[in-house]
Amino acid sequence: MLSLDLSFYNWELFTNYILKGFLFSVQLTVIATVGGIIFGTFLALMRLSGRPSLAYPATIYVNTMRSIPLVMVILWFFLLIPMLIGRPIGADLSATITFIAFEGAFFSEIVRAGIQSVPKGQGYAAEALGMTYGQNMRFIVLPQAFRNMIPIFMTQTIILFQDTSLVYAIGAYDLLKGFEIAGKNYGRPIETYILAAITYFLICFSLSKIVRKVQSKVAIIR
Amino acid sequence: MDLGIFCKSTLDGEVVDHCLSSLIGIGQNTDPSYLDWLMKAWGWTLAVAGLGLVIALSLGAVMGTLRTLPRDSTFNRLLVHLSTAWVELFRNIPILVQVFLWYHVIPAFIPVLKAFPSYLLVSIALGFFTSARIAEQVRAGIQSLPSGQKAAATALGLTTFQSYRYIILPMALRIVIPPLTSESMNLIKNSSVAFAVSVPELTLFAMQAQEETSHGVEIYLAVTVLYALSAFAVNRVMTHIEKRSRIPGFIAPNSEATAH
């Protein structure tokens, strides 16, 4: 049996290695959630527009993103963006763009289901009041849809936070990378991997408890 | 776009004369082409994902069932807590971290695992990770059954084990096939994390071949197509199983009807 030695783990190690990675993971999660919801809403509206010229491209985009492993999407963007703009791009920026593009596809499926969950009468009533399509979406349908979607958005955000660890593939400095480098520098890889697992678990577990609370509070209005 | 790269030798970059032979499994070329390498990598992906799927489905079905047990005895309550803890543990740690745990950490505590090749450890990691998600689907499936089913079983004098064996599980396990299909496809996609512990599967092939050949677009495209193809194949197989095992006369809960 192996004995664990956690004495090396101190405040200095935390501020030198872990904090930077943690902040990047959180930043990536927040930007990708906000960006993904905005992008995903546009994709969902395109798919529900009833116009093939808008619906088809959005459908193809969403289905393509959903059938490729995230690691491959990260690699694709890291390869393609420099080709398109003609100069190299940092792993951090590449990861951010990738996550907005990738999560947009997943959020669009949630938003689509959310919009469809709003009773049709609501949209008809807005039309009868003379609202334009934009007003209808902005004031009637989307506010109700988003309220219903809050718990699913939060669940998706937890998954997103876990997924940020995959930026490992292009060497971006995230929470997991921070632990790994600390483990290598201090020669204690086993302990740092355990600490990484505990950290991720505590964050995701507490967030999922919060989601459960919110779920019971945001009762479906109707 | 130059697909000719796949006919080139991985050793000296010259075009080999046996290019397409690797597609029909003649393989074992002394002078392997990138196509040979790609096919071998695909094999590793399928092996890791396939083994992971077996582990995930069996553990997931057991854990999901245990979570729904009636809490009428201390032993049952213990099983419910155990399976709940299982699901929370494996659901709340990122798959890549779990792969590192199985590769770097757990063998230090369980020396037997040191003899395991890395692909086997990745399969276990993928299997345990996915089993938590499958358990949730199985639990939802069991709970979606009309409560009359369980009540009828009890009224007939069946024990808890018998009612699960003969009444509840035969229904629930068929209902959950569609969500299990998407979890199985997720497992194939998640198997790409095996690159991190140097299993020579598709993603590691993509990274290494891209670097060697600087034909990244062609390499990534081939790998992406193979991932999509594998996931699609799983989808077809599961749909077939779903059709074959459909319960006659039983109308599955319609998502359209429950939406409003």
| pLDDT tens, position by position, A81-134 | 998 998 888 999 999 999 999 999 999 999 999 999 899 999 999 999 999 999
Q: List chain A residues with CB under 8 Å of B193.
A: 71, 166
B26–A contact, CB cutoff 8 A = no
The ipTM assigned to this model is 0.89
pLDDT digits (tens, 9 = 90+) for B71-87: 889 999 999 999 999 99
B214–A contact, CB cutoff 8 A = no
Q: List chain B residues with CB under 8 Å of A119.
A: 260
Q: List chain A residues with CB under 8 Å of B92.
A: 162, 200-201, 204-205, 208
The beta-carbon neighbor of A72 closest among B227, B232, B259 is B227
**Exposure of B147 by Cβ count < 10 A (0-12 exposed, 13-18 middle, 19+ buried)?**
exposed
The beta-carbon neighbor of A69 closest among B91, B100, B192 is B192
B216 pLDDT band, cuts 50/70/90, is confident
B22 pLDDT band, cuts 50/70/90, is low
B253 within some domain: no
Asked if A193 and B95 come within 8 Å (Cβ–Cβ), the reply is no
Give φ, ψ of B9 to 5 degrees: -70, 140
- Show the CA angle centred on residue B42, arms to residues B37 and B46, nearest 5°: 150
Task: Over range B172-196, report the average pLDDT.
Answer: 92
B62 within some domain: yes
Does A52 score more than 80 pLDDT? Answer: yes
Asked if B210 and A162 come within 8 Å (Cβ–Cβ), the reply is no
**Neighbour count for residue A222 (Cβ, 10 Å):** 10
B84: domain CATH number?
A: 1.10.3720.10
* Residues ≥6 apart with Cβ < 8 Å to A174: A21, A24, A25, A28, A164, A165, A167, A168
Does B234 score more than 70 pLDDT? Answer: yes
Task: Over range A38-59, report the average pLDDT.
Answer: 93
Sequential DSSP letters for chain B: --GGGGGBBTTT-PBPTTGGGGGGT----SS-BHHHHHHHHHHHHHHHHHHHHHHHHHHHHHHHHHHTS---SHHHHHHHHHHHHHHHHHHSS-HHHHHHIIIIIHHHHSGGGGGS-HHHHHHHHHHHHHHHHHHHHHHHHHHTS-HHHHHHHHHTT--HHHIIIIIIHHHHHHHTHHHHHHHHHHHHHHGGGGGGGT--SHHHHHHHHHHHHS-HHHHHHHHHHHHHHHHHHHHHHHHHHHHHTPPTTPPPPPHHHHT-
The beta-carbon neighbor of A200 closest among B94, B191, B260 is B94
B141 within some domain: yes
Give φ, ψ of B246 to 5 degrees: -60, 140
3.40.50.970, 3.40.980.10, 1.10.3720.10, 1.10.1380.10: CATH of A23-171: 1.10.3720.10
Asked if A169 and B94 come within 8 Å (Cβ–Cβ), the reply is no
Task: Over range B22-34, report the average pLDDT.
Answer: 65
Number of residues in chain B: 260
Nearest CA in chain B to A121: B260
Does B145 score more than 80 pLDDT? Answer: yes
What tokens does B47 get? 């092996």
The number of domains in chain B is 1
pLDDT attached to residue A1: 47
- Give the domain range for residue B98: 3-248
**Exposure of A160 by Cβ count < 10 A (0-12 exposed, 13-18 middle, 19+ buried)?**
buried
Task: Over range A162-171, report the average pLDDT.
Answer: 93
Asked if B232 and A201 come within 8 Å (Cβ–Cβ), the reply is no
Q: What is the pTM of this model?
A: 0.89
A220 CA: distance to closest CA in chain B (Å): 11
Asked if B108 and A2 come within 8 Å (Cβ–Cβ), the reply is yes
Distance CA B188, CA B233 (A): 11
For chain A, what is the mean pLDDT? 90
CB B25 within 8 A of CB B34: no
Q: Which residue did the predictor score with more confidence, B254 or B15?
A: B15
Task: Over range B142-159, report the average pLDDT.
Answer: 92
pLDDT attached to residue A15: 80
Asked if A165 and B108 come within 8 Å (Cβ–Cβ), the reply is no
The beta-carbon neighbor of A205 closest among B92, B185, B189 is B92
Nearest CA in chain A to B259: A117
